[in-house]
Structure 1
């Protein structure tokens, strides 16, 4: 079965950190088959597991950027609870839009530019 975006990021970090699926599973107190199932999308990735996996790789010196977003994409669920109505409407609008991939790429670049300005 193919890896999800989440799975690809985790596998790359694991290889970079010199970890196997088995050594990672042992350290996290689970099984290699469970971790594999999350990587391939056979199991949903809970917020708890995102936190555990983030901490695991941060401890190894190989943090994974935007792991929670990758998990949401792999889970095919974007939680909107707690967001203001305007943001909920934006999420729903994009999800139901007929924008092309190129148009969405332009929007994503624009949002990145805004976020960079806010951080500066």
Structure 2
């Protein structure tokens, strides 16, 4: 089965932390098949598991700044709950807009700059 964007981020982090799938599963008290299911898209990545996995790697000094976004891509959905109506409309607008690769790259850089600025606060 093909690995998802979320799976790519998590597998790289496991390699960086020198932790196997089985070791991670044992520590998180789940089966390795469960974790593998999230990596390959057979299982949805819930907010609860996103937090647990983020904490697992934070405890090992591994940063995963785009983990939430990778989970959204892998889940093929973005939770709009808690966002202002204007923010919700912006997200929906992006989802329905055809942009060139250059335009997407410029927006990506803008978003990264905004996130970096937010993280410094």
Instruction: After superposition, give the CA deviation of every residue in 1:19-53 in whole Å (9 maximum; x if it has no partner).
Output: 11111100000000110010011110000001111
Aligned equivalents of 1:44 and 1:58: distance in 2?
22
Local SS of the residue matching 1:107: helix
- Report what 1:89 is aligned to: 89
Aligned equivalents of 1:115 and 1:58: distance in 2?
18
- Report what 1:52 is aligned to: 52
Equivalences, count: 120
1:79-118 superposed matches below 5 A: 79-117=79-117
TM-score when scaled to structure 2?
A: 0.90
Work out whether 1:31 is the aligned partner of 2:31. Answer: yes
Structure 1 residues 85 and 61: CA distance shift in structure 2, 3 A: same
- Report what 2:40 is aligned to: 40
Aligned equivalents of 2:3 and 2:91: distance in 1?
25
1:111 Cα deviation from its structure 2 partner = 3.0
